[in-house]
């Protein structure tokens, strides 16, 4: 862990997880993509994800949010763009199969163990995600996590994507806690950075040994798996 426990507030009482990239492996869809487009599966998975996130920022910051679309629609748009960019033949059947796979992304193996440990310690748990409610409902149930989450929060209710402060404000609103009493966990460095700026206690899960953002702020802690969140809540 990067920072001493003295920096943590005594009343840290909840954990909110980002969903896509943190609980669910957004690049696992590349396995199916590789079957469809041999030699291009990984490239498609990466470009698809990058364009999906770019679109969330575009619709949030342009014209006061007038061009907002749900995350599912932006995910489809990102897939179509990525296939055109890579000159891949995205037939309607292939598109439907890839989108269906996105609904059922592989969950990281430690998810259930970590959530169970948090619940055993009396910690409020939840998701705070760009995903729209139906996407999250299917993903959570598919991963068998629905009984382990107190809150599943979608930015769809505010029609603004992370990193907009109104998106992060959903956590304190739902839990009744101050942001400093909540640990926000993300594998996406941009998300961990913005959540730190917002005021959350933050854990960046650096699964891929990447550098953090160079904007002068670090997350409260950095780890390699979701298990590192348990360090915020020592077992009694």
> What pLDDT is stored for residue 154 in this prediction?
98
Locate the DSSP E strands across 51-181: 124-129, 151-154
Sheet of strand 182-186: strand arrangement: 151-154, 124-129, 14-17, 182-186, 201-205, 221-223
The DSSP code for 136 is: H
Q: Which residues are catalytic?
A: 18
Full-model pTM: 0.91
CB 174 within 8 A of CB 14: no
Q: What is the pLDDT along the chain (236 residues), one digit of tens a residue?
A: 444 444 455 588 999 999 999 999 888 888 899 999 999 999 999 999 999 999 999 999 999 889 999 999 999 999 999 999 999 999 999 999 999 999 888 899 999 999 999 999 999 999 999 999 999 999 999 888 988 999 999 999 999 999 999 999 999 999 999 999 999 999 999 999 999 999 999 999 999 999 999 999 999 999 999 999 999 987 65
Name all domains of the chain by residue range, CATH numbers in brackets: 5-25+107-232 (3.40.50.1000), 26-103 (1.10.150.240)
């Amino acid at each position: 862990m990067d920072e001493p426990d003295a920096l943590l507030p005594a009343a840290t009482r909840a954990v909110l997880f980002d969903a896509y990239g943190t609980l669910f492996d957004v690049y696992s869809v590349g396995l199916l993509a590789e079957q469809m487009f041999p030699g291009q599966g990984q490239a498609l998975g990466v470009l698809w994800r990058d364009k999906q996130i770019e679109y969330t920022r575009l619709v949030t910051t342009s014209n006061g949010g007038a061009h907002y679309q749900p995350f599912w629609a932006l995910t489809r748009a990102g897939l179509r763009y990525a296939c055109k960019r890579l000159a891949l033949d995205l037939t309607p059947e292939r598109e439907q199969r890839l989108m269906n796979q996105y609904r059922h992304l592989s969950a990281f193996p430690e998810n259930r163990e970590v959530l169970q440990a948090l619940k055993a310690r009396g910690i409020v748990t939840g998701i705070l995600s760009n995903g729209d409610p139906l996407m999250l409902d299917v993903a959570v149930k598919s991963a068998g996590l629905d009984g382990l989450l107190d809150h599943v929060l979608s930015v769809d209710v505010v029609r603004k994507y992370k990193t907009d402060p109104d998106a992060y404000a959903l956590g304190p609103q739902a839990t009744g806690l101050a942001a400093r009493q909540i640990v926000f966990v993300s594998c996406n460095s941009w998300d961990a950075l913005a959540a730190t700026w917002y005021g959350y206690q933050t854990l960046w899960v650096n699964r891929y040994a990447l550098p953090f953002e160079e904007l002068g702020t670090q997350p409260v802690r950095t780890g390699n798996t979701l298990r590192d969140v348990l360090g915020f809540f020592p077992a009694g």
